[in-house]
């Protein structure tokens, strides 16, 4: 499965799991197994707010584009994402939402 990304500033995070030709996106299952080779499923035929393209099966492989939410401090790998070839079932790697804020140690008060 080939997943392309369209970055978008959004407060909601994204989790994806792949099982065969199905994706579970934020807990909702989308099964593309019935899509025959060479066919295209129009974007409007899929009730998924994260889908940003038609879904195609070319040479047996599902190809689609998903919205990639990110925070206001997103790293370059999220703002300019590379496509992901997902060959194994399980969690799909999603680029980081934002750059983690450095944690600072609380200052100790001087002893009296």
Structural domain boundaries enclosing 25: 2-91
- Identify whether 9 is part of a domain: yes
How many domains does the chain fold into? Answer: 1
What sign results for the dihedral spanned by CA atoms 6, 7, 10, 15?
positive
> What is the pLDDT confidence band of residue 97, given thresholds at 50, 70 and 90?
confident
- Identify whether 24 is part of a domain: yes
- Identify whether 42 is part of a domain: yes
- Identify whether 96 is part of a domain: no
- Identify whether 101 is part of a domain: no
Over range 61-72, report the average pLDDT.
95
Judged by phi (left if over 0) then psi (alpha if -120 to 50, else beta), residue 67 lies in beta
pTM of this structure: 0.84
Residues contacting 45, CB < 8 A, separation 6+: none
pLDDT in tens, 67-84: 999 988 888 888 899 999
């Amino acid at each position: 499965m080939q997943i392309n990304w369209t970055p978008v500033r959004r407060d909601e995070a994204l989790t994806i799991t792949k099982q065969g030709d199905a994706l579970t996106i934020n807990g909702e299952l989308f099964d593309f197994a019935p899509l025959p080779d060479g066919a295209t499923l129009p974007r409007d035929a899929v009730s998924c707010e994260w889908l940003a393209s038609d879904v195609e099966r070319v040479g047996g492989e599902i190809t689609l584009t998903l919205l990639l939410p990110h925070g206001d401090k997103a790293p370059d790998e999220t703002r300019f994402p590379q496509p992901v070839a997902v060959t194994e079932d399980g969690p799909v790697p999603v680029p980081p939402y934002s750059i983690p804020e450095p944690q600072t140690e609380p200052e100790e008060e001087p002893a009296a």
